Structure 1
């Protein structure tokens, strides 16, 4: 048995999460903001490309704002 092997009876340690809860909340909130903005732009009669661009812009602008707001 090598020193890096866990000893019998000791549970293995869990790996660190890929994203923290705060990061997940910020990114999901930005995605929702982008979807709502793009959907409203599309329903408002704008072209599809314009609605996609509006949604991506709102989502991208929302990330730094949400990063500052959510602590």
Structure 2
């Protein structure tokens, strides 16, 4: 299955939340390669998935991107 094509722009807050939701769902299924599975399910690259997860694990929140308007913390 091919990944969806996506332009290389920053993820919106909703896209980041989607990545986290899919990650939590796949994690509950105890699948070993989580980033790869989340990447396939969302059409977002594995490195971007890892970046969103690292950001969330570090801050406990999703940081709004400039694409959303002003950058701010989202819980």
Q: Tell me which interval the TM-score lies in, with the shorter structure as reference length.
A: 0.3 to 0.5
TM-score w.r.t. length of structure 2 = 0.36
Higher helix share: 1
Q: Return the index of the structure with the highest Cα Rg.
A: 1
